[in-house]
Each structure stands twice: as C-alpha cells, then as structure tokens.
Structure 1
Amino acid sequence: MPLSKVLPMSAARDRILDALESLLIDKGVLAATLDAVASEAGVSKGGLLYHFGSKEALFTGMLERLRARGVEDVQLMLQAPGGPTRYHLETSMVEQGDPLHRSFVAATLLAQSTGGQARDVIVELNERYLRALLTEIDDPELARIVQLVGDGLYFNLAIDAQHPSEVAPVLERVRRLVSEADRR
C-alpha cells in the first residue's frame, strides 16, 4: 500500500514538504523534481500530485508552511518573557534541525533561484519580525540594527562561521543599546 494512503493527509503533506526542503537544501533547486520529491518522501508520484497538483503548487505549499511557521514565531516573540529583542537575538542562534530554520533556508535557496513568491514571503516575514521589534524599540533605525544583528548571527551560525559562545558579548552590548535608547 502506498505510504500516502497510510499516512493521514496532513502527515503526508508534511512528509512531502519535508522532502522538498531536504532536496532544496542538500541538492539544490534543480534536483527538486516531482519524481525526486516523491521518492524522498516515500510516496508515489500520484500521491504527491494528490496533495500538490503541480511543482508550483508544491513550492506554494512549502512557502505557505514557512509563512505559518514564521507568523507563529512572531507571536512567540511578542509574548516572550524577556521581550521581542531578547527573543529575536537568542532564537537567531538556531539548531540546524529546527523546522523554521529548515523552511527558511529552503525558501531562501528557492528565492535565489526563482525570486518571485519565495522572495515575497521572506520579505513579508522580515517585515513582521521588524514590526515585533518595534513594539519594544521606539527607534526604527535601532530596531532595524537589532534585526540585522540577529540576521548576521543566524547566517554565521548556520554556516558554522562562529561559535555561539563568541556572540555572548555582542548580545549583551545590543541589549544595553536597546536599554539605553529606552531610557532617553
């Protein structure tokens, strides 16, 4: 029996989207064919097409999942006990297997190759994160600096260019900048 018939619909969709992300991350956009995604997900091509009627629909599904994960993360950021700034900086140091991280990396690779919808979703999420920072930081330029510091941490740690222990003084300095700006 095909795996897509055994798994509940949402589980099968997630397995397919996980397979797409893995192919994008590990082998690139050109390797993410419908046949390759179906094989990686352990479903038939017909099972894949049942959930996603085309390659474009598959990419759209991946980007919709990224958007949902990002929106959920922004909500966590807004509710974080240490505030949005602390949350943003600390969660910029993610583990490689984190679902939001994997979705974001896959979408970034897709955006570099195709632009369009992938780029639009990433820009939208960046704007949401910035708006969340602005709920705590009154200075738009400082909020953008905090966002870019988080982006830099994310990038450097994602490629193992920096050890998390090396960034502690930077995080503390950024927190002090935000605190000083709040007191003015």
Structure 2
Amino acid sequence: MPPNRQSTEPATTASAPVAKNRRGLETRERVLAVTRGLISAHGYAEVTLDQISAEAGVAKSSLLWHFGSKEMLLAEAATSLFRQIGEELGAEPQHGRTAARRLENSFDRVAGYLSANPEAKGVVLALLFSGSVPASVREEIRRSWDSHVHDLVAALSAPGRPLPAPMARLMIATIHGCYCHWYASDRSEPIAAFLAPARELFGDWLRERDRER
C-alpha cells in the first residue's frame, strides 16, 4: 500500500522556511565573525566588502541584502561583541554574588573583549561621529548602547536597590573614555590597567549602596 503522502507533505513544507531561516542566521553570524576578524587584522578603514565577501564566501549582493550597507555591517560586527557581554551578564547566576562582584566580572569581560578586538570600540565611535554615515547606522549604535544600559541595570540591581539608569550610562561612558585613552596610547599596558580606576570607583559605590540597606 503506498504511503500516505498527505501526512508527510505538510511537515516537509513547514520545515522548509525554518531551515531557510536557520541558514540565514548562520550566514549572518559567519559574516559578522569574519568582519570582526578583518577589522582586528587590518583596521576599520581598510576593510572592504570585497574582502568580507571573499573571506565569508558570501556574494556582495547577499551582504547588502542582509545588512543594507557596509557601514551597517561594520556597526553590527562591532556592537555584536558587546551584545555578547550583556548576554553573558544576563546568564550569570546572581545567587550568592554581590552586585559589586558582578560588576568586577563585567569589567573582566570588557577588558578581555577589547584586548582581543582592539578596533571594535573604535569602529563604533568612528561610525557614530562620521557625518557621511547613514542615520540608520547611528540608530543601530544608539539601540546597542541602550541595550548595554538595560543589561547593566538588570545585572547590578539589588533587591530593593535598583541601579539607576543614569548611573549605568555613566559606567558605559567611563568605559568609552578609558578605551579612548588606552587606544590613543601605545597600548603597551593592558587595557585592564586603564579600566582599573573606574572598576574600583564603581565597585566602591555599589558596596556602599549595599551596606546602606
């Protein structure tokens, strides 16, 4: 007796968009990883769509379809690094760990990412202040920074002691300033040394806040 085709075709049809969507996400992640590597190896100004296309094995037309422009691709590649930090902070178990300790962990991650990808934050700042960059790119950067604020508030709030959003924005601005100072130097010292005063300052503030409970 022939198999009941009616029972198999809907499942096959339904799975096709899922598989296509998964392949699309995998392509995006591969392109972002390749772009981050090229930025680290050659610097932001030297990276071209031709290089990204060749390294990732993706046609330039597909790159533009996925990201819209080279600038948007570079912005997503750079901001995706710091999105990972936020995701890790959210996944970190908070039971038994003080907010000050979670802050130290976040500074460790920031130092690690910037050491491995020194151009990443520079790409974001260069795109942000470039007059030729489309407004959509600056909007992507703004959304990314708003997400950082949300992640810090969620990670560093204590019961009955929410972290004020302006304090989270100040932390992020201070990290940007430390990065610029480090990048403008000869980078012979680890970036952790430039971040250390901010780490101590905000850690002391959090410990004092928690003692006041």
Q: TM-score, normalised by structure 1?
A: 0.63
Provide the C-alpha distance between the structure 2 equivalents of 1:90 and 1:98, rounded to a whole number of angstroms.
12
Name stretches of at least 5 consecutive residues in structure 1 with no aligned partner. Answer: 1-7
1:141 alignment partner, SS class:
helix
1:150 is matched with 175
Work out whether residues 74 and 129 of structure 1, in 8 Å CA contact, stay in contact via their aligned partners in 2.
Answer: yes
Q: 2:129 aligns with which of 112, 124, 129?
A: 112
Map 1:27-66 onto structure 2 (within 5 A).
28=45, 33-35=48-50, 41=55, 48-53=59-64, 56-66=68-78
Residue 21 of structure 1 aligns with an amino acid whose one-letter code is I
Structure 1 residue ranges (4+ consecutive) displaced by more than 6 angstroms after TM superposition: none
Quickly say closer, same or farther: Cα 1:20–1:33, change in 2 above 3 A: same
Q: 2:106 aligns with which of 88, 98, 103?
A: 88
Work out whether residues 142 and 178 of structure 1, in 8 Å CA contact, stay in contact via their aligned partners in 2.
Answer: no
Name stretches of at least 5 consecutive residues in structure 2 with no aligned partner. Answer: 1-25
Q: Which structure has the bigger radius of gyration?
A: 2
RMSD across aligned C-alpha pairs, in angstroms?
3.8
Quickly say closer, same or farther: Cα 1:69–1:115, change in 2 above 3 A: same
Provide the C-alpha distance between the structure 2 equivalents of 1:11 and 1:171, rounded to a whole number of angstroms.
31
Work out whether residues 13 and 51 of structure 1, in 8 Å CA contact, stay in contact via their aligned partners in 2.
Answer: no
1:21 is matched with 39
1:181 is matched with 209
Work out whether residues 50 and 60 of structure 2, in 8 Å CA contact, stay in contact via their aligned partners in 1.
Answer: no
For each residue in 1:8-45, what CA deviation from the matched residue of structure 2 results, as whole angstroms up to 9, or x when unmatched?
A: 9678735763476369x6362xx555456557x496xx
Map 1:132-147 onto structure 2 (within 5 A).
132-135=151-154, 136-137=156-157, 138=162, 139-147=164-172
- Greater CA deviation, 102-111 or 68-77? 102-111
Q: TM-score, normalised by structure 2?
A: 0.57
The structural deviation recorded for 1:79 is 3.2
Aligned length: 169
For each residue in 1:89-119, what CA deviation from the matched residue of structure 2 results, as whole angstroms up to 9, or x when unmatched?
A: 33332455635x5444334323332152222
Quickly say closer, same or farther: Cα 1:171–1:118, change in 2 above 3 A: same
